[in-house]
Structure 1
Amino acid sequence: MSALDLTRPANGDSVHPTDLAAAPPIPDVVAGVKKISLHDASTLQETHSPATWPAIRRRLGDTEVSYYLPSRENGVNDMYLMLGLKASPKAMSTAMVNAVWAILRCRHPLLASKIEMDNYDDIFFEYSPPRTPIVALIDANTALEYRSQSSNELLDSYLNGPRTLSDTRLSYLIVSSPPQLLDDSDVEINVDLLICATHFLGDGMALHQFAHEFLSLLGNHDEAGLLTILEGEVNILTAEFSGQVDTGLCMPLSLEERLPASPPSRFHAAAVLVDHLSDQRRQIGGHAFPKKESQDRRTIVPTVSYDGDRTKAILRTCRENGVSISSAIFALCNIAWARTHNRGWESPMMMYSALNIRPHLKANERLNNSYFFLAIGFFNIVLPSFVPAGSKESKIFWHRARSVKTQTAKIAKSSCLVSRSKEMSKERGLRARIWGMQDDGVECTLSPPRRTLFDGEAKASSAALIGLSMLGNLDGIYKHPSFPTLKLHTLTTGSRQRNGGMLLFGYTFVGKLWLSLGYDVNGFDDDIVQTFWRNLLACVDDFL
């Protein structure tokens, strides 16, 4: 999206009811042209109209349910995106940031929604839009916090401390900087921006698009301009909720509702199930990091970046060998594990990753075009776990990188991708409901998902060594010239993990290649994990 085209990217909604008297104080803000104090705003709301429009509801789809139910106790999979940047204190003032945050919560309604769970089948997003700009600002401010922590402290508190998000707070924004941020100067200081959202709201691509939109607004408008944009957003909501349009269109639909419909045929349904189970039967993996039993989860995120010249050389080497850096990273993990572990070579090694389903969704111009919704599937890469004796490792590496490319292309181009995504979504939703009932001590009458074609058939091991999130070239999303007064320099992303969780991230950002391994240091034999990490970095030097 162009930095100048920021009036409204075709969405539109925000905020739920809030106790105005209890809201944290924010600076005087402009509603249109006139300044209104928080006290005056509370009085105006009480004497003239309710703070928000009546709530609307949208049922969670199976994929959203599969992320929501496990998150309830301790925030498993709650996402974060931490951006390090240089900016002036004035640009990062509370008034400026709060105004941008309010605008985007209007444009992307799931961020300002809450969860209502009636039972395991009836779980809803509930959203109540603000009636006025001041109410939008107050609501946004309840999910905004300023701190003076280092980036490491900020990340550790989010990953390992008490849960930041909840059923009534699905998104949160933290700005961390030195105390002099309060000064009204133009001297650049380091700022860490932590964007938090539950995973059932959206996926990684939504987070990055959101961050770009946030920075574009912040870097191209003054406070008065931002508040004028906010007033326009609220006016659009007012038109929608005054009965001029169908309010049911205000919230993004679930992945399952947006996928193309299947033919209403019993034969087709049976064929889809057989294809899904056959595909699952081919997912074989016999390797996993040795785990330890520990109730005390502690996630750490060792991260390495390569400078611009080294990154260019790495990418050029990948192109010369006919693969992307993403395919190469899968192969790096494969060879690094072979160097780390010398047993069980008769079993293949499997790794899993997320699949972007957005290109396959139905287009519907009647729907507001918020990109902040969940639209991912999953796929596995299976490779041999050993390096043949006497072979040249570099040849094996590039052969396996090309195998990853072939497997990925076959999955992405399969005519069965949509039907398999639907079946996997149903399976994950059912499994999450069963586990949720077990966690809650509720009697479960649901049958576990079918795993094989024939009753009694043994299923091969499907252990995955590691999950990979290959984000690609993020500089294609963050168009840095579009916010020249804000200078990004670091990016870290991931999620709160369950005990024994592990996920490797690979991406290019500000012209650098980044590798980031987030894992529960108390959940694994850490000597083996550290050996694997050293071997992975050594493989980068050896092959790339």
Structure 2
Amino acid sequence: MGDTELSYFLPSRQSGVNDMYLHLGFRAPERLVQRSRVRIVWAILRLRHPLMGAKVEMNNHDDVRFVYEAPFSADDSLVDADANLEYTSETKDELIDRYLNGGRTLSNDRLSYLIVSQPAHDTLPTPPRTPSPSRDAYQQNFELTVVNPDERQLELLICAMHFLGDGMALHQFANDFFGLLGSGQSDAELQEVLEREWEQRWNSDNHGLAERGILPPCLEDRFPSTAKRSTHLRDAAAEVDFQLAQASLVGGQTFPRRKDPMRHTVVPTISFPEARTKAMLKKCKERGVSISAALFAVCNLAWARVGGGRAELPAMMYSALNMRPYLAKAEADAIWDSYWFLAIGYFNVILPNFVPAGGDEKTFWHRARQAKLQSARAAKSKLVVSRARRMARERGERARVWAKEDDEKEKGTWVLPSPPPSASPDASSAPSIKNILPRRDPVPSSALIGLSLLGNLDGIYAHRSFPDIKLHTLTTGSRQRQGAILLFGYTFQRRLWVSLGYDQNGFADGIIEKLWTAIEGCVEEFLG
């Protein structure tokens, strides 16, 4: 594993922190969702993306690797797929709650899992619970839909470790899954596809091909090589840029927290009808921002209205940066060119934590434009790759230190480390980059909240390629650590969705509920 993968793997070992899920509610004819058909599709995709069927072997904190055991035959791959497939009758809320708050579904021997559920009351999807003017329209939208009696209402939960991939991989996989499931091919024809896929990869004539690389390389190895162009000056410049960028991160806003031994994650969700979503997107476009930039401003003003934190300290919010556009072209053979790998970086948006008197509307759109500017600056920086390399290294080192400490505490061998010795004034060692940068007074650098902004998911889901399957609901997230909070925003089926995943036991009573009410209010007020 590379540093980015390790930074997700090591914290996940005890309770599954960051284990991802993608829920999709859909209607489909019963013939398309029989277990016999679903497991063939699941087996095909696990062959195409072997990381999903791999296991993790940890030798020490620096040596963690994926191990993949090739299936002996197409039938063997079916057995493996069936062992990682579950059918149940739980509702959407029950499925998600079990995954987030129950015992861990995944493990080092099970990196991905698929759950298909047909609730007993399968006529209509359950609308989100939190009351809202927009939610009434959302519910009515489905109540007006005539349900074909031959169709079944089902819930799909795709489960995968975060160190396997990111949101882009998860959604592309879901699209491919429904593309095969809802294709015009019969079960027998899909079985033939499975056999061809196995033959291409594991027929004895192709063993030499397989030795050239089955599992995708880590993110750090996918970046364009700088070995031929690297110089001490270039490396020093990149390091100075990284340290200056880190020093500029100022955030003095945090939620009041409380310690509770039991974590309980909830995910309140709102969805807006198609016509209203279209009007929101048009309003954002007229003001020169995306809906993603607007959601940064929504969180900013919502927190300011809740009244938390000192007004003179800014609010910092973090988000993930899709690193796939910056990667070198893969050299793997076409049959091993999988999109299941982790390729994310990170960036921050910093906005003031006050609301000028009488200037809410103007302030909102100004801050949305500032969020857009800061996001674009992070994505378009000429040093985005070098920053991602150094951030990955820092996160990996930090994860190793914490993992070692956790393991020693579990064994009862941990000893509080002694403070590092202060350097003598006449030290002859060469100064580090950090020591030669301008000295600055320490400033708070805490992030208030994370935002996962997935954009327009209808650009990924080719709904027309599976006409007999009608997707209508999408919820995504991950198992969280204690006191975690993350807001999701995306458009799906031409509707805007906003959800807030947070640990209900990790914050002072009522504070996140007030924030969520303020977020809804800001969306209603500014986006319309």
TM-score w.r.t. length of structure 1? 0.85
- Measured in 1, the distance between the counterparts of 2:75 and 2:368 equals 54
Query: Which residue of 164, 176, 183 corresponds with 1:201?
Result: 164
1:87 shift after superposition: 1.0
1:236 paired to 2:200: yes
Q: What is the match of residue 252 of structure 1?
A: 216
Letter in 2 for 1:461: P
Letter in 1 for 2:458: D
1:80 shift after superposition: 0.1
2:321, 2:345 within 8 Å by CA — same for their partners in 1?
yes
- Measured in 2, the distance between the counterparts of 1:114 and 1:159 equals 22
Q: What is the match of residue 125 of structure 2?
A: none
- Measured in 2, the distance between the counterparts of 1:86 and 1:246 equals 39
Alignment of 1:13-412 (within 5 A): 60-178=1-119, 187-220=150-183, 221-239=185-203, 242-262=206-226, 263-341=229-307, 343-367=309-333, 368-389=336-357, 391-412=358-379
Letter in 2 for 1:397: F
Stretch deviating more after TM superposition (511-520 or 245-254): 245-254
1:343 shift after superposition: 4.0
User: Is the alpha carbon distance of 1:446 and 1:140 closer, same or farther for their aligned partners in structure 2, counting shifts above 3 Å?
Assistant: farther
Stretch deviating more after TM superposition (450-459 or 480-489): 450-459
- Measured in 1, the distance between the counterparts of 2:186 and 2:101 equals 36
Q: What is the match of residue 542 of structure 1?
A: 525
Letter in 2 for 1:233: E
Percent identical: 51
Q: What is the match of residue 53 of structure 1?
A: none
SS state of the match for residue 268, structure 1? helix
- Measured in 2, the distance between the counterparts of 1:446 and 1:168 equals 38
1:464 paired to 2:447: yes
Q: How many residues align?
A: 480
SS state of the match for residue 388, structure 2? helix
User: Is the alpha carbon distance of 1:443 and 1:122 closer, same or farther for their aligned partners in structure 2, counting shifts above 3 Å?
Assistant: farther
2:314, 2:352 within 8 Å by CA — same for their partners in 1?
yes
User: Is the alpha carbon distance of 1:218 and 1:498 closer, same or farther for their aligned partners in structure 2, counting shifts above 3 Å?
Assistant: same
Q: What is the match of residue 496 of structure 1?
A: 479
1:408 shift after superposition: 0.9
User: Is the alpha carbon distance of 1:447 and 1:495 closer, same or farther for their aligned partners in structure 2, counting shifts above 3 Å?
Assistant: farther
1:420 paired to 2:387: yes
- Measured in 2, the distance between the counterparts of 1:342 and 1:69 equals 33
Runs of 4+ in 1 over 6 A off after TM superposition: 442-448
Q: What is the match of residue 30 of structure 1?
A: none
Q: What is the match of residue 499 of structure 2?
A: 516
1:388 shift after superposition: 1.9
Letter in 1 for 2:400: R
1:189 shift after superposition: 1.4
Query: Which residue of 430, 437, 441 corresponds with 2:397?
Result: 430
1:236 shift after superposition: 1.1
SS state of the match for residue 372, structure 1? coil
RMSD: 2.1
- Measured in 2, the distance between the counterparts of 1:307 and 1:191 equals 21
Instruction: Deviation per CA, 1:68-124: give whole Å up to 9, x if none.
Output: 000000000000000000012221101110000000000001100000011111100
SS state of the match for residue 245, structure 1? helix
TM-score w.r.t. length of structure 2? 0.87
